[in-house]
Chains A and B, each alone.
Chain A
Amino acid sequence: MSESRTELLRGTLDLLILRALTLNRDHGVGIARRIHQISKGTFDVKPGSLFPALHRLEEKGWLSSEWGESENLRRAKYYKLTKAGRKQIQNEMANWERVSTAMTWAIEATSKG
């Protein structure tokens, strides 16, 4: 678990969180673990950025939260996607597509110099 392995681009974290919740609801620890997993260990989200992001997404109406019992019967706050959130994944993905293509072009252009 190396520190700050990859700096998350602004906006990327939102997409990662939304992706992590596509299948089912989850709590903060679970979401962080899932992001770690789906990015094949590249991204390690720290609570300092995870929680503010979760609350921000909830305020935007893309996530909703509810209190439930965790696997080990503890009270945990679960987040899940809202309808608007599902739609937002498409937007974010298209966005990311554009950014990454543009970045690739930019890098290639520079290296060809």
Chain B
Amino acid sequence: MPRIVSFLRNSFRKKRMEQDLDDEIRFYLERTAQDKMASGMSEGEARRAARLQLGSVDSLKDAVRDIRTGAMVERIWQDFRFACRALRNKPAFTAAAVLVLALGIGANSAVFSLINAFLLKPLAVTKPEELAGLYSRDTKNPDAWRAFSYPNYLDIRDSQTAFSSVTAHNLALVGIKEDDNTRRTFAAVVSSNYFSTLGVPLFEGRSFRAGEEKPGRDLTAIASYSFWRKTGEDPHLIGKHLRINDHLFTVIGITPKGFTGTTVLASPELYLPLGAYDFVMNDIETHGKPLDARDNNALFLVGRLKPGLTLQAANAGLAVVTSRMGRASPAENKNQMLSVHPLSRLSISTNPSSDNDLWAPAILLLSLAAVVLLIASLNLANMMMAKGAVRRKEIAIRLAIGGSRRRIVQQLVTEGLVLAILGGAAGLFVASWSTTLLIGSLSRVAPIDLVYDSTPDARLLAGVLVFCGMSVIIFALFPAWRLSRPKTWHDLKENAGEDVAGRPRRLFSRGNMLVIAQLSLSLMMLGAAGLFIRSATRAADVQPGFSLDNEIIGEVDVSLANQDEVRGRQAYRALLEQLRQIPGVQSVSMAATVPFGLFSLGASVLPSTSFASKENRPMYARFNIVTGSYFQTLGIPLLRGRALVAAENMPESKSHVAVVDKLAADKLWPGGNAVGQQIHLDESGGGYAQTCEIVGVVGNVREKIVGDEAKPLPHVYIPLGQHYQADMQIHVKVAASSRDAERWMLDTIRRDIRAADPRLPLLSLKTMRGHLESGADIWVVRTGAHILEIFGGVALFLAMIGLYGVNAYTVARRTREIGIRMAIGADPASTLRMILGEGLRITAVAVGLGLLLALGIGQVLTGFLFEVRGIEPVVLLVAAAVLTAVALVASYIPARKASLVDPMIALRYE
């Protein structure tokens, strides 16, 4: 108890009370001293005597404080009990209010849970604020960042820096053999001090040893907690062998629950020591270079700052290391500058990146959820006003006998707080359930394990309390203030419920205003939802520049079967030949990357005409390695020149050729002819650098729907003969066929690939449309639309309840008036029209206002939509029609009830 008291004492009007008490005591002292001087004491004596009489000031103050806080606690407790009793006595109202709040607060809590998980919740490591990323950039080309080679990492690790420890890591997409299948999954390849740098004790087993950074015969692996869960919490997992990329790994440990590495949410399933690098790292990353090559910039570095040191201090310290490294190995490290930046929570990247991009959609979603809460609160405010109207008389009496207005407001607000807390608790369940569902749905399209914990933490609870508080202000404080206005003359009258002048309610009465606000805000939400739905439909109908139908894609990787380039090329050649034989197959081809896929390659392109001039900055283009009939297989039109030919698939072909798309051709040679021109290609990351002759121009291809790269990018294609990659995508174009035939085709291709080489793992096989549908891009657009649909639906539902409530309340209040009207000859139809008309007038005003709001939000949303402008007349029309239809229903039911009023009963009413 004392702690609670002191807490309350600290939080409520403490300063003012203390000041007053001091003044009061000072006055007492002065006055007593004066009295004593008047009776003949000297000033000094009088003061002393007064002080003596006062006794201990501290204990006096303590006594007064205890009384004040005690009384306050008592009052709060009293109000709380009163509120609980009042709510228990009206279970229907309480249930409705809690439901309304659960929807409103639930929507906000759900969005906030996601924001928390993505942007706020600290990493599950020791003192995450001490971790920072190390980056290296080219001083001559400030946009060119690169990762670190293993030798460079060792130099930095062993230098005197502001870091107490530096760890290196990268992600590898590996194939893990499970029974007969090979499953693709992400493994983190980490230095031996990874777990100690992050300060994460393993759940079980041991961490990597320094020796395991060297390639060796005894490969080890640490499983993630969720990997262990997938094995059914196998008690004997440690010591077992996993076959990864055709190598045997012994499991030596399990990471703790909730650990996701240096990023949040997404977690590799396995952690492998650097010694495994040469066996598991994808050639898309390594370009065939071993880990210990100083020019293989393969690792991302994360350091733990020494306690109390800042990023600035670390940056200053790195300058020395930079120049020493530049001197020691000038070939690899010239013009490089090291710097330290905060780690991104969401990506592992060569350049420092912040997660701030995510704040815009986060705030948008939170604002839209806030609108739902606003509607819910307005709705509840109306309910509270209606309920309060019944209690008007009681309140008026209390005011009349000297009850303070503040006390009454406090009591009504306490009631609101209890409701809000109940609603908030229910909202937390809604949030936990819906976000788990959402992350579950995301994990079906995400290539990596998602570790999401929906248990509320302190931040989420604080957020929910804020939502509760905001809603209380609207739905409890405001009505309480209105209800407790001292207007006793009116409220003490017999029929306070009935209108004074017997006039119909004005269109812009307070209750109607609340309903109009709800209706127009929900129209705005419907408009926003409509835009997102339209955006999702457009995204699904996207014309990417290649054909989506009758296309099958599959992923194979010969390196997972431990085969080198020569064997790999043979295997792929044989595979293509075999697939071409299948009846119904029209064309077969392979490519290094697939549109809307997990990986993409990039290259800088410089036309030969500008080789000399340094002024020209290279053009960035998407880069792909393809086999001869690629364009034909994907249905990408050849616009000029020729396509690649089969001979160019062979490494023996010595010509260096490339095909560019129209976008690239137009950018490099506006208005001119690209065919026959020379370009210099330099693959980002340094895999391929060559001067090629352009032999053809093909149509543009779109590879993304959302994000930075949503705008079409220029493309450059080179034949497989010029550059080898082990991880390849098979493209098969088949004759138009039925669903069954399609399934047969998929089975046949799967069988044939297995027959061609039983050791060659087929990592995926699906139709192009299926690939697109299961991709993250479509998911984002669709999920955005779904969330907005839910928000819009909830908003509409709440507004409907609100309109229905007001109409029903009006009818109930006017029963006698309606009875009189009908007694003097009004027929049921005209009564119905009258009440319906009132509902429709409210709706008309709301639709007008709502359309304006919808236009406004359309402007805000434009940046988040795919090929949809902010103003879509169809969307606005449909939204307004839906709202009007719902409003009609909500008005019709009470109107019909009014038309059935029996005048005889109505006149005896009350």
Contact = CB atoms under 8 A, between A and B. Distances in A.
B323 interface: no
A110 interface: no
Contacts of B404: 61
A75 B404 CA distance: 25
A57 to B, nearest CB: 10
A52 B28 contact: no
A52 B401 contact: no
B67 interface: yes
Interface residues of A, number: 22
A28 B24 contact: yes
A37 to B, nearest CB: 13
B16 to A, nearest CB: 12
A60 B401 CA distance: 15
Nearest to B56: A48
A11 interface: no
Task: Name the residue among A47, A48, A74 with the largest chain B CB count within 10 angstroms.
Answer: A47
B59 interface: yes
B168 to A, nearest CB: 66
B55 A55 contact: no
B84 interface: no
A75 B64 contact: no
B154 interface: no
Contact of A51 (B23, B32, B53, B63): B63
B355 interface: no
Interface in B115-136: none
A61 B71 CA distance: 11
B510 interface: no
Contacts of A28: 24, 27-28
Contact of A52 (B35, B53, B55, B64): B64
A77 B34 CA distance: 17
A72 B404 CA distance: 32
Contact of A59 (B32, B59, B71): B71
A74 B34 CA distance: 12
A100 B572 CA distance: 111
A81 to B, nearest CB: 11
A47 B402 contact: no
A107 B353 CA distance: 89
B30 interface: yes
B68 interface: yes
A27 B34 CA distance: 15
A29 interface: yes
A46 interface: yes
A75 B60 contact: no
Contacts, number: 66
A43 to B, nearest CB: 15
A83 interface: yes
Interface in A46-74: 46-48, 51-52, 55-56, 59-61, 70, 72, 74
B24 to A, nearest CB: 5
B402 A83 contact: yes
Contact of B60 (A51, A59, A70): A51
Interface string B58-80: 01100110111001100000000
Contacts of B31: 27, 29, 70, 74, 76
B28 A46 contact: no
A77 B24 contact: yes
Contacts of B35: 29
What does DSSP make chain A's interface, helix, strand, loop or mixed?
helix
Contact of B55 (A29, A46, A72, A75): A46
A42 interface: no
B63 A48 contact: yes
Contacts of B64: 51-52, 55
B63 A70 contact: no
A83 to B, nearest CB: 4
Contact of A56 (B27, B67, B401, B402): B67
Contacts of B72: 59
Nearest to A28: B28
A52 B24 contact: no
B27 A74 contact: yes
B54 interface: yes
B55 A47 contact: yes
Contacts of B30: 74
A82 interface: yes
Interface in A35-49: 46-48
B60 A52 contact: yes
Interface string B4-35: 00000000000000001101110110111011
Contacts of B23: 75, 77
Given A75-B23, A77-B24, A82-B402, A52 B54 contact: no
B67 A48 contact: no
B71 A47 contact: no
B636 to A, nearest CB: 83
A28 B64 CA distance: 14
Contacts of B53: 46-47
A104 to B, nearest CB: 32
A31 B35 CA distance: 14
Contacts of A46: 53, 55
Contacts of A56: 67, 71
A44 B870 CA distance: 80
B60 to A, nearest CB: 5
Contacts of B24: 28, 51, 76-77
A77 B67 contact: no
B60 A48 contact: yes
Contact of A55 (B32, B34, B67, B402): B67
28 contacts: A28-B28, A29-B27, A29-B32, A29-B35, A46-B53, A47-B53, A47-B54, A48-B54, A48-B55, A48-B63, A51-B25, A51-B28, A51-B60, A51-B63, A52-B63, A52-B64, A52-B66, A55-B67, A55-B68, A70-B27, A74-B27, A75-B23, A75-B27, A77-B24, A77-B27, A82-B402, A83-B402, A84-B402
Interface of A: 27-29, 46-48, 51-52, 55-56, 59-61, 70, 72, 74-77, 82-84
Interface of B: 20-21, 23-25, 27-28, 30-32, 34-35, 53-56, 59-60, 63-64, 66-68, 71-72, 401-402, 404
- Among all A-B residue pairs, the 8 with the closest Cβ atoms: A59-B71, A83-B402, A52-B63, A29-B31, A77-B24, A56-B67, A76-B27, A48-B55
